[in-house]
Structure 1
Amino acid sequence: MINVSKTVALLFAISTANAAQAQAFDDDDDRTPLDQLVPVADESPDLADGAASADDARTLDQKLAAEFDRYQRLVAEDALDEADASAKRIVQMVISIHGPQSLEASRALNNLALVQNKNGQYGAAIQNFESAVEIIETVEDRLNEKLVNPLRGLGAAQIGSGRPDLARRTFNRATHITHVNEGPHNLEQVEILESLAQSAMLLGDSKGARNILNRIHVLNARHFEGNDLAMIPSLLRRASWQHAGRYYLDERATYRRAIRILEANLGKEDPQLILPLSKLGQSYYFVDLTQPMTKQQGLVTSGEMYFKRAARIAEATPEIDWRILAETKLALADHYMYVESFVRARKIYAEVWDVLSADQERLAARAEMLEQPVALTSRNLPKFAGERPAGNTSTDGFLTGTIRVDYSVSTRGRIRSIRTEAIPPQFTDMQKMVHNEMKRRIFRPRMSDGGVLETDNLVFEHSFFYRQADLDKLTKKTPAAEQQSADENSES
């Protein structure tokens, strides 16, 4: 896909993380270490022998508080293996103090499962999320609001393990529980519905995902009625989901609505317009397959006006952050590179080079943005060779193959001297798909001293999963068929 503004991505990531954190802490106002968000696996904790005395209990409480402080620090430092071990110790302490069938134990297990999920230990995370759910069901009931947080974690782990079909059921249950406790129009369900939409997309149910996004929009419109500016964050998130679902016409309509609201309330030169204008321009790189192709020819050039306006606003805003200025101008230059207006593209690239060369603080950004080729367009490549059950993307029992691509990028951002290799070599169909995709990609060329350069000896690797049966089937092809496939690949 087109390279998206890092400022946009950062804003989206921060808002998502903050909302998720708020959801995890919503049980009460006076939070303890057990109310925090972090994840044991399949290990059983060593329980304390017998009932602890009051002095022992205080000692355990002190140890628990100290361990939780350590755990928080490890999570903040992204030291997940150590955080996992710390979370397991917390589970042991909590069970010693409160017992295995306690709400405190369920929160400790939930924290442990969250860490494991983040660490890619999906099987262990699922087990501990389920344990946390079972404890709450036993101590409270099957519709208690405390179930929402571990159910959300369980659904995320199920998606990570390749089972969006199971995740959809889990998120539906979590949504139902919010309806029972907070009413059918509560905003607490919005993030759960977004996860539900993600599950639908992974299952190939784009219509179902679209309906869920419409439900989210109705909830936000109802909540923010009479306050248009407050709708902007939800509109931008809606557009992002519409893009992910490939409803590009809907995406454009959403960005236009956000732009109209900002113009009406803040004026037509406000810097908050930069984001939706840039995103609207980027949407024109994509074709909405729900509409006839004859109505969409030449749409790419339509994005220029939005890129130019965003760049003009950025340049006219004295207090604007230098990174936003650079990324907004790069979006316009990338557009010119895409439509083969190379002189205009190089001019703006040179201007951005100067912006990023102004002081030492900006040199790292210059190296990332301009001193290496940056892919502007890409399409998702298949992760699996052969057939697999619908709704199941688990890689259990699969082997891993690789398609290696050696290539060069010209000063015009196009692929040159491309060579591909499949490992195992029998997967020629996968090799062709990767080969053709790489040939279609467009790059921002590498720069040095303000000028664009050709870049050689680049390598791209695409990993995919296959079953031994897939390889055996390909190995049994007749020699004539193998020769024909090899000849076709060499010609491509």
Structure 2
Amino acid sequence: MSRSLTQVNCYILLSAVLIVAARGSAQSVDDDSYRNAYDGAIAQQSYDEAAVIAKMQLARALDAGNRDALSTATLYSDLASAQRLAGNYSAAQLNYETAVSAIEARTDRMNIALERPLLGLGETLLSDGRPDLALDFFARAVHVRQVNDGPHHIAQVDAIEQLGQAYAVLGDTKKSEAMATRLGVLIERHAATPVIAARELWVRQGGLYRLIDMPGMERAAYARAIEAGAAGEPGWVEPYVRTGESFLSEYLQAYVDASSQDELPDRKLLTDAELALREAIEVAYSDDGLHWQQKYRASLALGDFYSVAGNFSEARQAYSEAWKLLTADPAGLSRRAADLESTTLIWQPPINVDGLVLLEPGRMLDDGWLPDGRIKVSFSVNRRGRLSNIALLEISPDRHPRIEARIKEGLAGYVYRPRMSRGFTVDTAGLTIEFGFSVPSEKATEK
């Protein structure tokens, strides 16, 4: 039995024993033990098990007649959070709504306890592909916080950030940028406050700018993150890595947008990306006490950069170092299986197929486009992360030689993180990918 599974089973067993025992013991002891068990399962990313623990504690509270207590509303939010993280969005939405109703029944519509389930509802709807509905809950969470603690309280950053993310998904760049600016104002205002993690907040602001394709502002936020705090703190490596990824992303986007050789982007962006990622490595390994996860983050990002840039020997070296870091700690083995023991797509240039719109599985069609068919392709990924043996297995409803040629040409530009085995990159055969394709509707054509 794996270490993580054993730990999770212990969490469930501990919670069950304590819930039974607590029927004749002090409430506070039971609550503390429940919280430890629940938080432990969440930390292990064992979300289904965390939901079981929350359900057991919730059942106990309901049996005791505490249906409308604020503590019971917290349990509903705990359950909903575990369900949301597990991808069970409908159940999560229902339990967050129950938490909101319980709090409003006990207090009023402006109680600070509402902030958590309101944010949870927004996050659930955003993850479920309904950003338009998420907006209202994020906005209300901001309002609740401001009513209780004033318009400049630092605790509202979570709601503001998520509001900005929802606007970005909806394509409202101006409003998303306004939220990013607002984040910066709050961070500046509270920068001297010891209790806030300024570095993390600047990184989060940079992430919001990334969503709306403002690389200059994004990197400025990461520069502020590097200035904040002290070396060796948690998250110390992250702004360096994000800076390198930003330069690389800007280069790749400019490369895609170029319509001729004369418009190709300046390779200085690649040089700057490499320098930032190399600095991340230097920072990560300069402190022996730094957690291995930060070293791993820097090594993996550097490997991905070199894979995209075509420097395969450097990529293999970086991936090998990442493998060693994950192998040295039992807690890293599950991460190794997910990140390195299977192929991972890291660069996906768009494929132009004579006016057809190719859509990856699960991606929603934009308004004005009608689904028309599907294309299934098989391929191999070599140890350099490049595709070979590309073959079209199926195009429905019709096959067309020109479409097939364009798809093969486009897929040849994909870059994968190659699969690793025993610390070495290896070839992987028998992979498939399926696209939907659509054609413009008459309505869209008229526009």
Alignment CA distance shift 1:119-1:230 (3 Å):
closer
1:126 maps to 2:93: yes
Alpha-carbon distance between aligned partners in 1 of 2:196 and 2:389, rounded to the nearest angstrom = 50
Aligned residues: 397
Whether contact under 8 Å (2:349, 2:413) holds in the other structure is no
The answer for the alignment partner of 1:439 in structure 2 is: 412
> Mapping of 1:72-83 within 5 angstroms?
73=37, 76=41, 78-79=48-49, 82-83=52-53
Alpha-carbon distance between aligned partners in 2 of 1:258 and 1:284, rounded to the nearest angstrom = 17
Alpha-carbon distance between aligned partners in 1 of 2:146 and 2:274, rounded to the nearest angstrom = 45
1:183 maps to 2:156: no
Q: Name the SS of the counterpart of 1:413 in structure 2.
A: coil
Alignment CA distance shift 1:178-1:389 (3 Å):
farther
Residue 382 of structure 2: which of 395, 406, 410 is its match? 410
Amino acid of the structure 1 residue aligned with 2:273: G
The answer for the alignment partner of 2:241 in structure 1 is: 278
Alpha-carbon distance between aligned partners in 2 of 1:116 and 1:357, rounded to the nearest angstrom = 30
1:142 maps to 2:115: no
Alignment CA distance shift 1:412-1:212 (3 Å):
same
CA-to-partner distance for each residue in 1:158-206, whole Å, 9 max, x for gaps? 3344322121111111211211111000112111112211221221222
CA-to-partner distance for each residue in 1:26-71, whole Å, 9 max, x for gaps? xxxxxxx9xxxxxxxxxxxxxxxxxxxxxxxx96998998699679
1:297 maps to 2:266: yes
Amino acid of the structure 2 residue aligned with 1:412: R
Deviates more, 1:166-175 or 1:110-119: 110-119
Whether contact under 8 Å (2:285, 2:295) holds in the other structure is yes
Alpha-carbon distance between aligned partners in 2 of 1:68 and 1:251, rounded to the nearest angstrom = 40
Q: Name the SS of the counterpart of 1:416 in structure 2.
A: strand
Alpha-carbon distance between aligned partners in 1 of 2:155 and 2:174, rounded to the nearest angstrom = 23
The answer for the alignment partner of 1:92 in structure 2 is: 62
Deviation, 1:249, is 1.9
Residue 182 of structure 2: which of 192, 208, 215 is its match? 215
Deviation, 1:251, is 1.4
Residue 237 of structure 1: which of 204, 221, 224 is its match? 204
Deviation, 1:72, is 6.9
Q: Specify every segment of 5 or more residues in structure 1 that has no aligned partner in the other structure, as ranges.
A: 1-32, 34-57, 391-398, 475-492
Alpha-carbon distance between aligned partners in 1 of 2:415 and 2:165, rounded to the nearest angstrom = 28
Alpha-carbon distance between aligned partners in 2 of 1:385 and 1:63, rounded to the nearest angstrom = 48
CA-to-partner distance for each residue in 1:54-100, whole Å, 9 max, x for gaps? xxxx9699899869967974772542563465366245324xx24x5
Whether contact under 8 Å (1:106, 1:135) holds in the other structure is yes
Alpha-carbon distance between aligned partners in 2 of 1:360 and 1:103, rounded to the nearest angstrom = 39
Whether contact under 8 Å (2:138, 2:162) holds in the other structure is yes
- Greater C-alpha radius of gyration: 1
Q: Name the SS of the counterpart of 1:297 in structure 2.
A: coil
Alpha-carbon distance between aligned partners in 2 of 1:62 and 1:205, rounded to the nearest angstrom = 51
The answer for the alignment partner of 2:427 in structure 1 is: 454
Alpha-carbon distance between aligned partners in 2 of 1:70 and 1:423, rounded to the nearest angstrom = 53
Amino acid of the structure 1 residue aligned with 2:278: K
Alpha-carbon distance between aligned partners in 2 of 1:186 and 1:433, rounded to the nearest angstrom = 54
1:174 maps to 2:144: no
CA-to-partner distance for each residue in 1:408-460, whole Å, 9 max, x for gaps? 123432111223456865799x9999877643321344456776543322234
Deviates more, 1:141-150 or 1:372-381: 372-381
Whether contact under 8 Å (1:353, 1:366) holds in the other structure is yes
1:311 maps to 2:281: yes
Whether contact under 8 Å (1:129, 1:154) holds in the other structure is yes
The answer for the alignment partner of 1:13 in structure 2 is: none
Amino acid of the structure 2 residue aligned with 1:309: E
Amino acid of the structure 2 residue aligned with 1:247: M
Q: CA RMSD in A?
A: 5.0
Whether contact under 8 Å (1:271, 1:314) holds in the other structure is no
Aligned-pair identity (%) = 29
CA-to-partner distance for each residue in 1:190-243, whole Å, 9 max, x for gaps? 111122112212212222112111111111110114879952221122222222
CA-to-partner distance for each residue in 1:122-142, whole Å, 9 max, x for gaps? 334434433433343344222
Alpha-carbon distance between aligned partners in 1 of 2:379 and 2:283, rounded to the nearest angstrom = 38
Whether contact under 8 Å (2:316, 2:424) holds in the other structure is yes
Whether contact under 8 Å (2:54, 2:78) holds in the other structure is no
Deviation, 1:149, is 2.2
Alignment CA distance shift 1:152-1:435 (3 Å):
farther
Deviation, 1:151, is 1.7
The answer for the alignment partner of 2:7 in structure 1 is: none
Alpha-carbon distance between aligned partners in 2 of 1:164 and 1:427, rounded to the nearest angstrom = 37
The answer for the alignment partner of 2:161 in structure 1 is: 194
Alpha-carbon distance between aligned partners in 2 of 1:439 and 1:408, rounded to the nearest angstrom = 11
Residue 248 of structure 1: which of 215, 224, 234 is its match? 215
TM-score after normalising by structure 1: 0.63
Q: Specify every segment of 5 or more residues in structure 2 that has no aligned partner in the other structure, as ranges.
A: 1-14, 16-21, 351-358, 443-447
Amino acid of the structure 1 residue aligned with 2:432: V
Whether contact under 8 Å (2:248, 2:305) holds in the other structure is no
* Structure showing greater relative contact order (alpha-carbon pairs closer than 8 Å, 6 or more residues apart): 1
Alignment CA distance shift 1:437-1:153 (3 Å):
farther
Alignment CA distance shift 1:108-1:326 (3 Å):
closer
The answer for the alignment partner of 2:305 in structure 1 is: 335
Deviates more, 1:283-292 or 1:240-249: 283-292
Alpha-carbon distance between aligned partners in 1 of 2:84 and 2:158, rounded to the nearest angstrom = 18
Alpha-carbon distance between aligned partners in 1 of 2:341 and 2:106, rounded to the nearest angstrom = 58
Amino acid of the structure 1 residue aligned with 2:347: T
> Mapping of 1:250-269 within 5 angstroms?
250-261=217-228
> Mapping of 1:347-362 within 5 angstroms?
none
Q: Name the SS of the counterpart of 1:184 in structure 2.
A: coil
TM-score after normalising by structure 2: 0.69
The answer for the alignment partner of 1:18 in structure 2 is: none
CA-to-partner distance for each residue in 1:341-379, whole Å, 9 max, x for gaps? 334445555666777788999887776665554433247
Alpha-carbon distance between aligned partners in 2 of 1:163 and 1:319, rounded to the nearest angstrom = 43
Alignment CA distance shift 1:436-1:247 (3 Å):
farther
Alignment CA distance shift 1:202-1:69 (3 Å):
same
1:419 maps to 2:391: yes
